[in-house]
């Protein structure tokens, strides 16, 4: 995730401390991953929910896309680790994100 530049990095020096995204990363990987994540939110309810939740938390579009890209990287890593292909039904059943419309939204 850090190599692709989608994970936050903490920088501390003396009394100051900042959290930013790592831009000294593999630019091609970051562009490919964030483009995939941005396009995936139009075709996947799971991805759209993660993106809209990030936007609801007042994240700007680029930040919300990086949050979604990080979620996709977790899925890709799990598929690679298990040696299995991505299956949306299995993934959505095992995830913490519930995309059903009958779920009550806490206010």
Q: Could you report the per-residue pLDDT of 36-61, keeping only the tens digit for each?
A: 999 999 988 889 999 999 999 999 99
pTM: 0.70
SS3 48: helix
- Torsion, Cα 53 63 96 48, to 10 degrees, reads 60
pLDDT (tens digit per residue) in 55-93: 999 999 988 998 999 888 888 888 888 888 888 776 665
Mean of all residue pLDDT scores within the chain: 78
Residues 66, 29 contacting (CB under 8 angstroms): no
pLDDT score of 11 more than 80? no
10 phi, psi to nearest 5 deg: -95, 130
């Amino acid at each position: 995730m850090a190599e692709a530049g989608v994970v936050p990095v903490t920088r501390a020096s003396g009394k100051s401390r900042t959290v930013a995204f790592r831009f000294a990363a593999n630019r091609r990987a970051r562009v490919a991953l964030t483009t995939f994540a941005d396009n995936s939110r139009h075709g996947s309810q799971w991805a759209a929910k993660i993106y809209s939740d990030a936007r609801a938390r007042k994240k700007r579009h680029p930040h919300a896309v990086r949050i979604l890209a990080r979620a996709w990287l977790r899925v890709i890593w799990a598929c690679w680790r298990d040696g299995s292909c991505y299956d949306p039904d299995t993934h959505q059943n095992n995830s913490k994100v519930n995309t059903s419309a009958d779920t009550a939204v806490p206010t």
